[in-house]
Amino acid sequence: MKLPLALSLALIAGTAPTLAIEQNCRFIQARAEREACYSRQEAELAAKRKPQPTADTKYMDTMQQMRREDAEVYRSLRGICRGC
């Protein structure tokens, strides 16, 4: 009995800020301001929906940076030891 109640409260609490933003934009009289409000709202929602970078992505970025640095070091070493 408590579980469905808790789930419904969580759903309501999770959607309340979004509904408040939509209602605020809806009551703006000036068309340009209302459209600007809607575009800001879309940007905020898109930012919330954007997946957070995972550890794998961070790891791959780090590895790519290390490979670039290694390539630069190898190039500089080739220039030093030409006559050896």
The CA angle 22-23-26, to the nearest 5 degrees, is 85
Residue-level pLDDT at 69: 95
Identity of the residue numbered 62: T
Mind spelling out the 3-state secondary structure of 2-13?
HHHHHHHHHHHH
What lies within 8 Å, CB to CB, of 18 at 6+ separation is 45
Indicate the DSSP class of residue 27.
Answer: T
**Is the overall model pTM greater than 0.85, yes or no?**
no
Residue-level pLDDT at 12: 60
Residue-level pLDDT at 13: 55
Site of tokens 């590895």: 63
pLDDT tens profile 10-57: 656 555 455 454 568 888 889 999 999 999 999 998 888 877 766 677
pLDDT tens profile 53-83: 666 777 888 899 999 999 999 888 877 766 6
